[in-house]
């Protein structure tokens, strides 16, 4: 993989450090409610940190001239930031422990490592999607629908 043809999904997967787990489509779908909950925590924590950091930076810049209410707010923000960073780290670690890869923390896109047609792949899920219906195939930066043939063969194996 190199340069402009490299997939952002595969970059995230390769550096994730997640256990090398291979998910069947059925297993990944079964885990989706739990993953959905964890991803929601990741997205909320990132949004909260994005909101808190600028306010904290402003108060830090003016720390020598702050009155007590603003100093108190500065201390509270630091505690809130620390707590939120811990929650975020715990959620990311939980995903990693499950073998799920966070592909884009800002959107909450995650990947479930798998094999499709004997090629390394990732089932892809984004918040707001009801089911697991997309994938990335190694060295292809495009997100594709999971092939119907793959879904049928999975269903036959589960029966």
Distance set, CA 81 to CA 39, 52, 73 (Å): 19, 7, 12
Q: How many CA atoms lie within 13 A of 23 on its CB side?
A: 23
Q: Which residue has the tokens 């190199």?
A: 2
Tokens of 65: 């001239």
Answer whether 112's CB lies under 8 Å from 70's CB.
no
Determine the pLDDT at residue 75. Answer: 92
Candidates 30, 29, 41; CA nearest to 95 is 41
Q: Given this model, what pLDDT does residue 21 score?
A: 79
Residue 141 has pLDDT above 90, yes or no: no
CB neighbour list of residue 64: distance below 8 Å, 6 or more residues apart: none
The pLDDT assigned to 3 comes to 41
How many domains does the chain divide into?
1
Helix (H, G, I), strand (E, B) or coil at 38: helix
Average pLDDT over the chain, rounded to an integer? 86
Rounded to the nearest angstrom, the gap between the alpha carbon of residue 136 and the centroid of all alpha carbons in its chain is 15
Residue 54 structural domain: 3-158
Residues 50-107: tens digit of each pLDDT: 999 999 999 999 989 989 999 999 999 999 999 999 999 999 999 999 999 999 988 9
pLDDT at 156 over 70: no
Find the mean pLDDT for residues 108-134.
92
| pLDDT higher than threshold 70 for residue 155 | no
In this structure, what token pair is assigned to residue 38?
A: 């964890």
Cα angle 62, 63, 66; round to 5? 85
């Amino acid at each position: 993989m190199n340069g402009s043809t490299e997939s952002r999904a595969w970059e995230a997967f390769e550096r994730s450090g997640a256990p090398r787990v291979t998910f069947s489509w059925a297993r990944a779908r079964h885990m989706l409610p739990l993953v959905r909950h964890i991803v929601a925590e990741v997205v909320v924590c990132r949004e909260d940190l994005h909101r808190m950091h600028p306010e904290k930076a402003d108060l830090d810049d003016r720390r020598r001239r702050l009155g007590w209410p603003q100093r108190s707010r500065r201390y509270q923000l630091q505690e809130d930031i620390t707590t939120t960073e811990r929650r975020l780290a715990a959620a990311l670690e939980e995903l990693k422990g499950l073998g799920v890869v966070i592909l884009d923390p800002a959107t909450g896109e995650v990947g479930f490592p798998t094999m499709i047609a004997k090629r390394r792949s990732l089932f892809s899920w984004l918040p707001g999607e009801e089911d697991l219906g997309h994938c990335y195939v190694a060295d292809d930066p495009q997100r594709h629908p999971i092939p119907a043939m793959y879904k049928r063969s999975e269903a036959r194996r589960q029966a």
